[in-house]
Amino acid sequence: MASRLHYERHRPKQTTLYRLVQQHAASFIAHTEASTDAELPRFIKDEFDAFLECGILAHGFLRLRCGECGHDKLLAFSCKRRGFCPSCGARRMSQTAAHLVDHVIPHVPVRQWVLSLPIPLRVLLAAQPELVTPVLQVVQRVVTRHLLRQAGLKADEGHGGAVTLIQRFGSAANLNIHLHCLVLDGVYCCDADGSPAFIEADAPTDDELHALLQTVIARLMKMLTRRGVLVEDMGQTYLAEPDADGEEARTLRPLQAAAITYRIAFGPRAGQKVLTLRGAMPREVWARQPLCADIDGFSLHAAVRVEAHDRKRLEQLCRYITRPALSDERVQVNAAGQVELKLKTPARRHDASGLEPAGVHAAACGAGSPAASASHQVPRRAGAQRQAAVPGGAARARGGGTGHRSRCRQRMRGPDRD
């Protein structure tokens, strides 16, 4: 006999994150606008307002009634935003992962390619989100051509496939724009009768991955220089000065700079780094990871591979790359009144002196949560989260049903690199 399903209404007022935003969002907005002499963009204020109404019955609800027993439930309206709402983000994570596994990704091996960028380029992409698409196109072309060479095919003889999630956050709620690409681990080509046939690729070696990252860096630098956002001078490459500073840039730039470098944006500790309370990673476990290339702040990771039959693990991977920036369980206030953000695993971040471990971070209460949330936002005209697919035969070759699941350089040098 199947167990009965039970619906438990989301109660946001009982969460620490909701109380922090409710208590400090207004003062954060006022302090930011007073400090920068400019108004915060409307979309950020709307994000905070919608979050404070999400799941609150006073702002609208549905009444659901059972026609047989007469029992009813109240279902509060949700904000459905893409910013930092943990509830709506978790729902979107589940729905997107299910859609990718059931209707998009064919039953072939999949490898995750993750590209991380040096801090100067994170600053650039945060300020100019329209550059993320050309950066993604460069990466996908390099990876696809590598797979075609592995299969012994020319560029016009086969097609790859990929789904990319552009994440704007790191595990420590820092602003960190990076790419998670789920790439079919091989290519499609047409056989004699015109049907698509999948040719599986061998795993890249460490040397091949290093060479691929060098190619990515060279092409990214060339593309960004051609667009005028990077300048080459005397063998060095640096960010070009922006043409003009509007109100949006004046308010967001200090928030973005603080969030990228793990620093406090406002308050008595403004400019200082967030505290690491516990959970330090022993230095001996910092060994080099397999299939992970690092060059001057760029990182390319390709060690995660899912076999064609393992759809459950594929869904877990899809849920990981589509997860929201924050979860209610990880945000707490300690006895000293500091906001704590708990990490699931000890994390490593780059410092001027090397890798600095991080376990539980804390920020001054009233400054951390709204500032970090605001720095993650991107104007709706730019798209807060996007998926991109390499065109080809993968979509035509989907197979299987839905019964497998259980659910209803140039180098960027400088001492400021953290």
Would residue 415 count as lying in a domain?
no
Other residues' Cβ atoms within 10 Å of the Cβ of residue 170: 21
In sequence order, the 6+-apart residues with CB closer than 8 A to the CB of 73 are 7, 9, 63, 64
pLDDT band per the 50, 70, 90 thresholds, residue 2: low
Would residue 4 count as lying in a domain?
no
Question: Is 80 exceeded by the pLDDT of residue 119?
Answer: yes
Contact yes or no for 151/189 (Cβ under 8 A): yes
pLDDT band per the 50, 70, 90 thresholds, residue 288: low
- Domain with 351 in it: 12-397
In sequence order, the 6+-apart residues with CB closer than 8 A to the CB of 222 are none
Would residue 182 count as lying in a domain?
yes
CA distance 186 to 182: 12
What are residue 170's phi and psi, to 5 degrees? -105, 175
Assigned token pair, 49: 């307002």
pLDDT at residue 395 in the model? 39
Contact yes or no for 159/190 (Cβ under 8 A): no
Residue-wise pLDDT for 43-64, tens only, equals: 999 999 999 999 999 999 999 9
Contact yes or no for 127/242 (Cβ under 8 A): yes
Across the range 321-335, mean pLDDT stands at 91
Would residue 270 count as lying in a domain?
yes
**What percent of the chain has a predicted confidence (pLDDT) above 70?**
78
Residue-wise pLDDT for 129-148, tens only, equals: 999 999 999 999 999 999 99
Domains held by the chain: number: 1
Residue-wise pLDDT for 349-360, tens only, equals: 444 333 333 345
pLDDT at residue 240 in the model? 83
Average pLDDT taken over every residue of the chain: 82
Lowest-pLDDT choice from 31-40, 94-103, 161-170: 31-40
Distances (CA, A) of 401 to 15, 101, 102, 316: 38, 10, 7, 18
Would residue 6 count as lying in a domain?
no
Would residue 407 count as lying in a domain?
no
pLDDT at residue 389 in the model? 40
Question: Is 60 exceeded by the pLDDT of residue 260?
Answer: yes
Would residue 175 count as lying in a domain?
yes
pLDDT band per the 50, 70, 90 thresholds, residue 374: low
Q: Which of 255, 369, 268, 269 is nearest to 25 (CA)?
A: 369
Would residue 412 count as lying in a domain?
no
Partner residues linked to 169 by β-bridges:
175
What are residue 340's phi and psi, to 5 degrees? -105, 135
pLDDT at residue 287 in the model? 55
Assigned token pair, 212: 């691929």
Residue-wise pLDDT for 203-253, tens only, equals: 999 999 999 999 999 999 999 999 999 888 877 788 887 765 677 888 888
Residue-wise pLDDT for 392-411, tens only, equals: 333 334 334 444 333 333 33
Amino acid at 27: S
| Residue 372: CA count within 13 A, CB half-sphere | 32
pLDDT at residue 386 in the model? 43
pLDDT band per the 50, 70, 90 thresholds, residue 71: confident
The two beta strands, 162-169 and 175-184, are antiparallel
pTM over 0.85, yes/no: no
Q: Give a three-class secondary structure readout of the chain.
A: CCCCCCCCCCCHHHCHHHHHHHHHHHHHHHHHHHHHCCCCCHHHHHHHHHHHHCCCHHHCEEEEECCCCCCEEEEECCCCCCCCCHHHHHHHHHHHHHHHHHHHCCCCCEEEEEEECCHHHHHHHHHCHHHHHHHHHHHHHHHHHHHHHHCCCCCCCCECCEEEEEEEECCCCCEEEEEEEEEECEEEEECCCCCEEEEECCCCCHHHHHHHHHHHHHHHHHHHHHCCCEEEECCEEEECCCCCCCHHHHHHHHHHHHHHCCECCCCCCCCCECEECCCCCCHHHCCCCCCEEEECCEEEEEEEEECCCCHHHHHHHHHHHCCCCCCHHHEEECCCCCEEEEEEEEEEEEECCEEEEEEEEEECCCCHHHHHHHHHCCCCCCCCCCCCCCCCCCHHHCCCCCCCCCCCCCCCCCCCCC
| Residue 54: CA count within 13 A, CB half-sphere | 28
Assigned token pair, 138: 């460069």
pLDDT at residue 355 in the model? 35
